[in-house]
Amino acid sequence: MKTALIGTIALGLLPGAIASPGGFNPDNVVFAQRALPDAPDGYVPTSVSCPASRPTIRSAAKLSSNETSWLKTRREKALTSLKDFFGHVKVGDYDVVSYLDKHSSNISNVPNIGIAVSGGGYRALMNGAGAIKAYDSRTYNASTSGHLGGLLQSATYLSGLSGGSWLLGSIYINNFTTIDKLQTHKDGDVWQFGNSIIEGPDTGGIQILDSASYFKDLAEAVESKKKAGFDTSLTDIWGRALAYQMFNASNGGLSYTWSSIADTTEFKDGNYPMPMVVADGRNPGELVVGSNSTVYEFNPWEFGTFDPTIFGFVPLKYLGSRFEAGSLPNNESCISGYDSAGFVIGTSSTLFNQFLLQINTTSLPNFVKNVFTSILEKLDRADDDIAAYEPNPFYHYNNHSSPYARQTALDVVDGGEDGQNVPLHPLIQPERHVDVIFAIDSSADTDYYWPNGTSLVATYERSLNNTGIGNGTAFPAIPDVNTFVNLGLNTRPTFFGCDSSNISGPAPLVVYVPNAPYSFHSNVSTFQLSTEDKERDNIILNGYEVATMANSTLDGNWTSCVGCAILSRSFERTGTTLPDICNTCFDRYCWNGTLNATTPANYNPTTYLAEADSAGSALVPTMLSAAVAAGVALFTLV
């Protein structure tokens, strides 16, 4: 399937345009021009008038005033959605809605939900999309018995990394649209992945000419940024290319910024979760590992980190301004437009910069390769996997403790380079008080591109680091990766941290949702750059089945168990006794500390369900694999 994004009208589907649970109704569709393209001069960071109170770097000791104010609105909206969710998700005969009403006057006692979508290229985007589709009340049939529609509307935070950040970008830059709207089969719509990102979109002409025009547009945008005095890197090219595939806007949404999400009415009104894109920091010549990485987040208001290496945030709208020692000197201008939405999601996935260096191995004609080569010759490629952020907003900020304080440029890399491929870091910050995280893991940890818990292990080990990088974050105990495979913890959802008394500090319960072959082998390579519609749809459907355990076919109590996970920390705070069904659920899904670190055989599972028929339906239950069955037998409350 070819794409035709160039020249499309920058329209987005409004969040309320698809009814729930009745699904898509074209008579209810309302289109409006998106209020997101606010960069003053396309891709060029540009001087603008400073606000009356000049922007500064703030300490990460607490949440920003913007986030704190927004939370007051969002938590109330999420509570309303949570009541709707528990209208079809039953927790035995326990009246959850009455419980929520009873404690609604103190919102801190109400469950606080986060969702994290891992990296893993297009595989992660599509598998993560399946989970988001399952959690979205706007998806047809998702709010009926056995499904989990409404969990997305009940969440406060949604984080993404690398391929997961592409998913967030597609959803939020397209006005918090639905997965259904993104995965259509209509030429010119958003997720038309049949054309490789190296080929570029098809505009209806001869493809080689379209590709040449595409690369010329990429080159001109990045060159204009460089001519304005800003350092550029391969990530600028990669981010611009991603924008053509992820944003339904002409010229790849040249003027769309991440910070403008905060200015949209729907977000300001707290109608959907707060998006956070995760990336890593790296000093020149430094090897990034889980124990020493600086983990950055891009949220709608800010860029920065809670880590002690910087412990600060810059207003995202004014990223690119020459801050010094936490302030913007009076002789320096306020710069806007640096936070191009494509550059943000490209920064989170700099691993894929390497594709841009492989252009001479493709089948593109020489004149297209020559256009691309001319781009690369103008860029500094000393570190091919780096996004160059110059000027460094944290220059001379926290000089006494920051290894980045004396650098004029900030090197930012793929968020998964430190092993934490599931973006849990923003969700385990104590100031955010998240109770439960749904961790959607599409990592390629094994020989056959399936996850084995590596990311959770990395986050757990980082929380134990005695050098201070963990900065007071706590995380549930996680077993080794061999145990994950030997006990089948990577074959179906697993709960970690069910008993908070076993954790040294406040930590959320983690619902680990690993990619697994329910109806389709969704383990495509991380570096697969093109996917036809049928494969795309099958991977998304498989992700939906993973999140819902095949619409509760594999466990009739699965949605009840999800409800128990959501309520667990809230019940602890209010001294509420767990309903019997929750004890049963925790006996089944909580890891009990059992270990089996022997080296497992290569993990290459068969599908758990019959393959989807040609229409993508009529799933037939089959036997679970021996690993899944063994895993079920070894679970108990911990």
Residue 331 pLDDT exceeds 60: yes
- The pLDDT score that the predictor gives to residue 153 is 98
Mean pLDDT of 345-362: 83
Give the dihedral sign, CA 622/623/629/631: negative
Q: How confident is the model at residue 205 (pLDDT cuts 50, 70, 90)?
A: low
- The pLDDT score that the predictor gives to residue 73 is 98
**Residue-averaged pLDDT of the chain:** 87
Read off the pTM: 0.91
193 secondary structure, DSSP code: T
Mean pLDDT of 432-456: 97
- The pLDDT score that the predictor gives to residue 290 is 64
Q: How confident is the model at residue 627 (pLDDT cuts 50, 70, 90)?
A: very low
Asked if 490 and 451 count as a contact pair (C-beta separation under 8 A), the reply is: yes
Delineate the domains of the chain, giving CATH numbers in brackets: 11-633 (3.40.1090.10)
Of all residues in the chain, the percent with pLDDT exceeding 90 is: 71
Other CB atoms within 10 A of residue 114 CB: 26
Mean pLDDT lowest among 12-16, 55-59, 442-446: 12-16
- The pLDDT score that the predictor gives to residue 7 is 28
Tell me which of 473 and 571 has the higher pLDDT: 571
Tell me which of 385 and 307 has the higher pLDDT: 307
Give the integer Cα–Cα distance in Å for 621 and 609.
5
Q: How confident is the model at residue 531 (pLDDT cuts 50, 70, 90)?
A: very high
Tell me which of 545 and 198 has the higher pLDDT: 545
Residue 19 pLDDT exceeds 70: no
- The pLDDT score that the predictor gives to residue 211 is 82
The pair phi, psi for residue 128, each rounded to 5°, is -60, -35
- The pLDDT score that the predictor gives to residue 630 is 38
Mean pLDDT of 397-423: 94
Task: Find, among 491, 476, 437, the residue nearest to 633 by Cα.
Answer: 491
Mean pLDDT lowest among 497-501, 577-581, 602-606, 616-620: 616-620
Tell me which of 267 and 372 has the higher pLDDT: 267
Mean pLDDT of 22-31: 37
Other CB atoms within 10 A of residue 229 CB: 10
Give the integer Cα–Cα distance in Å for 227 and 418.
33
pLDDT tens-place string over residues 268-302: 999 999 999 999 998 766 776 667 889 999 999 99
Task: Find, among 258, 191, 236, the residue nearest to 533 by Cα.
Answer: 191
Three-state SS string over 591-632 comes to CCCCCCCCCCCCCCCCCCECCCCCCCCCCCECCCCHHHHHHH
Task: Find, among 309, 242, 316, the residue nearest to 274 by Cα.
Answer: 316
Task: Find, among 493, 494, 541, the residue nearest to 518 by Cα.
Answer: 541
3-state secondary structure at position 168: helix
pLDDT tens-place string over residues 167-179: 999 999 999 999 9
CA 628, chain centre distance (Å): 27
Of all residues in the chain, the percent with pLDDT exceeding 70 is: 86
Whether the ω angle into residue 21 lies within 30 degrees of 0, i.e. cis, is: yes
- Burial level of 180, CB count in 10 A (0-12/13-18/19+)? middle
Asked if 440 and 133 count as a contact pair (C-beta separation under 8 A), the reply is: no
Residue 122 pLDDT exceeds 90: yes
The crossing angle, in degrees rounded to 10, of helices 366-377 and 207-227 is 10
Tokens of 240: 């611009």
Q: How confident is the model at residue 372 (pLDDT cuts 50, 70, 90)?
A: confident
